[in-house]
């Protein structure tokens, strides 16, 4: 029904100054994140000490970002596209950016059944899309009907429909979702990830594509309709969010390779229901390389700028502290750097080999390469979570012991059988390159014949899909519900290495079906300890975002979902137009 969630890169993670507003939210009942820090003078607080009586409107909020490949809300599968669409398209539910509590979005009310098997959603009245057309139940159920038809391949939107068995229409404002199986976060996952698009717009767009190809307009429930709908990649259609992407083939607010701008949606319901929110006139994403991004920062053209080398930058350019404040924070989706081992290939299907390789990563040196912005990794969980396996013994950096353990597994130059390792990695910033260099040096000392394959993104994805690797260096973003199933279950869509463990499958399944938080925490600890012992991936680092924020931006603050701009503003005399 959907493609697996795409691997997330550091460059995206560090560019999350805008945060995620709607989709892929964390649960309300989670332990607090580590304290956020602001490295700035005491006289320059992050949030203005006084709030204007009337919140100023305007300002084009600008930063540097990766460019999405696909902004179709139904097919996109990247973090950057999800981030952009979180400002243009609402889900049924979302979360409060400061508390993390689940709250209504397009659904003003929701009522889970007593047994957890279903949930009834009541739609908000009076909502309009960015083109002015009213929201209807047919719009809300459009994507579900595609999912029920079985012909359409979803991207991240499939996270919702993976949990749904059936939908009952109760009246023009209410519908009941029946869940496929027991899942402690089913309401959250479905409510936050359910894609709501303008059905009328998409029907017209598919009809245009059919006419261009000289064919008839296919039926909405046909495979041909699904094929044409998936061809729309540069447009997202009108949404109900606070901003919109005005884009059509051949022109619009997206200049590929340069920038993308989201402009204010004047029909958005949120500004009426939540006064003082979404005050910027536009959100501008610039696609710049490292040197160009730095020059834009030095010229004062950016409101936010993320980099692992923020500390070094401020030391070399102390004048930046006059216009920008430094912020460091974590958020729920920001996951863990790993080396995923291809367990489908010998000898990486041997846990002895994987444990030996785990000793070739100097995690303290890796942390230093990331400017100290992070925590050495141990699991698919947040280090502050109650389920984190703190009682397990980390695999310390020890080249000699790694060499000895590899020899016990039958590998060594003196045995005439050196371990050959093809390690695939995407191109990335200096911190990623330094991490690879550290491992390459340790691997050589351990007698490993390393074939390091650093590829640009498109080639990287193709090599990953072709299974042309023994190990793969990635940052894997977490599920907002804290559910590690997709990473560790043998059928999990993000179990990229194909690791299979009957014990892990059992525990991952039991975790999903356990509604008691304390018992679920115990199961998660057991599962994380098992994964640590078997090492299907080498956990390296939980990164933190290091960001420079324009001092003129007031009302923005880090929260569970990143740096929230829901109530941010810039006073009129400082606005960029």
User: Are 353 and 491 in contact, with CB atoms under 8 Å apart?
Assistant: no
337 token code pair:
């750097």
Residue 421 domain flag:
yes
Q: Which helix (H) or strand (E) holds 324?
A: strand 324-329
Residue 398 domain flag:
yes
- Mean pLDDT of the 315-321 span: 95
Q: pLDDT band at residue 33, thresholds of 50, 70 and 90? A: very low
- 347 preceded by cis ω (within 30°)? yes
Name every residue whose Cβ is closer than 8 Å to that of residue 135 and which is 6 or more positions away in sequence.
106, 123, 124, 127, 128, 129, 196, 240
**Lowest mean pLDDT: which of 140-144, 331-335, 373-377?**
331-335
pLDDT of residue 429: 81
Distance CA 245, CA 239 (A): 9
| Cα–Cα nearest to 238, from 85, 20, 434, 378 | 85
Q: How many CA atoms lie within 13 A of 266 on its CB side?
A: 3
Residue 105 domain flag:
no
Residue 479 domain flag:
yes
Beta-sheet strand order (sheet of 107-112)? 107-112, 118-123, 174-179, 164-169
- Higher-scoring residue by pLDDT: 530, 430: 530
CA angle 157–466–80, rounded 5-degree value: 35
* Residue for token pair 């491992």: 439
The string of pLDDT tens digits covering residues 464-496 is 999 999 999 999 988 888 899 999 999 998 999
Residue-number span of the structural domain to which 398 is assigned? 336-543
Q: Please determine, for residue 31, whether its predicted confidence score (pLDDT) is greater than 50.
A: no
Distance CA 237, CA 251 (A): 14
Distance CA 14, CA 3 (A): 24
Distance CA 492, CA 547 (A): 33
pLDDT of residue 215: 87
Residue 340 domain flag:
yes
Name every residue whose Cβ is closer than 8 Å to that of residue 520 and which is 6 or more positions away in sequence.
184, 387, 511, 514
pLDDT of residue 108: 97
- Mean pLDDT of the 446-473 span: 94
Residue 456 domain flag:
yes
Residue 442 domain flag:
yes
Distance CA 382, CA 16 (A): 18
- Mean pLDDT of the 130-159 span: 95
pLDDT of residue 22: 30
The string of pLDDT tens digits covering residues 46-75 is 333 344 558 999 999 999 998 998 999 999
Residue 77 domain flag:
no
- Mean pLDDT of the 301-307 span: 94
Q: pLDDT band at residue 42, thresholds of 50, 70 and 90? A: very low
The string of pLDDT tens digits covering residues 196-231 is 999 999 999 999 999 999 989 999 989 999 999 999
In 342-455, the DSSP E strands lie at 374-376, 420-426, 449-455
Domains in the chain: how many in total?
1
Name every residue whose Cβ is closer than 8 Å to that of residue 564 and which is 6 or more positions away in sequence.
19, 21, 97, 98, 556, 557, 558
Q: Please determine, for residue 32, whether its predicted confidence score (pLDDT) is greater than 80.
A: no
Residue 425: helix, strand or coil by DSSP?
Answer: strand
Q: Which helix (H) or strand (E) holds 403?
A: helix 399-408
- Give the rounded percent of residues in the chain with a pLDDT score beyond 90: 78
Looking up residue 439, the CATH number of its domain turns out to be: 3.10.105.10
- Mean pLDDT of the 178-200 span: 96
pLDDT of residue 303: 97
Q: Which helix (H) or strand (E) holds 339?
A: strand 336-341
């Amino acid at each position: 029904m959907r493609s697996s969630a795409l691997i997330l890169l550091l460059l995206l993670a560090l560019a999350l100054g805008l945060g995620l507003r709607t989709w892929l939210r964390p649960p309300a009942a989670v332990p607090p994140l580590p304290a956020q820090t602001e490295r700035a003078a005491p006289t320059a607080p992050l949030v203005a000490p006084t709030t204007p009586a009337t919140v100023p409107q305007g300002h084009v909020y600008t930063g540097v970002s990766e460019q999405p490949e696909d902004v179709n809300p139904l097919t996109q599968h990247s973090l950057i596209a999800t981030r952009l669409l979180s400002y243009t398209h609402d889900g049924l539910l979302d979360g409060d950016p400061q508390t993390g509590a689940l709250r209504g979005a397009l659904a003003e009310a929701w009522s889970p059944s007593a047994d957890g098997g279903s949930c009834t959603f009541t739609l908000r009245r009076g909502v309009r899309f960015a083109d002015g057309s009213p929201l209807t139940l047919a719009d809300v159920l459009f994507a579900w009907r595609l999912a029920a038809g079985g012909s359409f391949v979803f991207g991240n939107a499939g996270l919702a429909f993976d949990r749904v068995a059936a939908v009952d229409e109760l009246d023009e404002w209410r519908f009941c979702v029946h869940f496929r199986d027991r899942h402690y976060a089913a309401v959250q996952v479905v409510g936050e990830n359910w894609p709501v698009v303008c059905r009328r717009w998409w029907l017209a767009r598919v009809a245009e594509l059919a006419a261009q190809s000289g064919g008839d307009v296919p039926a909405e429930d046909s495979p041909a309709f699904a094929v044409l709908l998936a061809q729309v990649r540069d447009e997202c259609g009108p949404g109900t969010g606070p901003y919109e992407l005005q884009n059509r083939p051949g022109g619009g607010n997206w200049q590929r390779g340069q920038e993308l701008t989201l402009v204010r949606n004047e029909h958005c319901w949120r500004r009426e229901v939540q006064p003082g929110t979404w005050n910027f006139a536009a959100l501008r994403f610039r696609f710049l390389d490292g040197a160009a991004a730095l020059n834009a920062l030095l010229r004062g053209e950016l409101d936010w700028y993320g980099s692992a080398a923020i500390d070094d930058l401020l030391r070399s350019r102390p004048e930046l502290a006059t216009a920008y404040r430094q912020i460091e924070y974590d958020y729920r989706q920001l996951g863990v750097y790993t080396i995923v081992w291809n367990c489908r290939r010998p000898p990486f299907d041997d846990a002895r080999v994987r444990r030996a390789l785990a000793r070739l990563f100097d995690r303290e040196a890796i942390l230093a390469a990331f400017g100290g912005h992070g925590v050495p990794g141990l699991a698919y969980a947040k280090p502050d979570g109650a389920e984190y396996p703190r009682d397990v013994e980390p695999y310390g950096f020890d080249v000699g012991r790694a060499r000895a353990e590899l020899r016990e597994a039958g590998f060594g130059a003196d045995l005439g059988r050196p371990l050959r390792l093809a390690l695939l990695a995407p191109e990335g910033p200096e911190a990623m390159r330094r991490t690879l260099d550290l491992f390459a040096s340790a691997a050589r000392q351990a007698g490993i014949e390393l074939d390091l394959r650093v590829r640009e993104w498109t080639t990287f994805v193709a090599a990953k899909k072709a299974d042309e690797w023994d190990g793969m260096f990635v940052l894997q973003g977490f599920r907002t519900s804290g559910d590690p199933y997709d990473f560790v279950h043998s059928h999990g869509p993000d179990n990229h290495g194909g690791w299979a463990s009957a014990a892990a499958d059992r525990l991952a399944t039991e975790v999903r079906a356990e509604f008691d938080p304390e018992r679920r925490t115990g199961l998660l600890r057991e599962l994380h300890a098992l994964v640590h012992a078997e090492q299907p991936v080498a956990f390296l680092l939980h990164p933190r975002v290091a960001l420079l924020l324009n001092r003129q931006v007031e009302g923005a603050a880090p929260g569970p979902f990143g740096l929230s701009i829901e109530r941010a503003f810039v006073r009129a005399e400082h606005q960029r137009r």
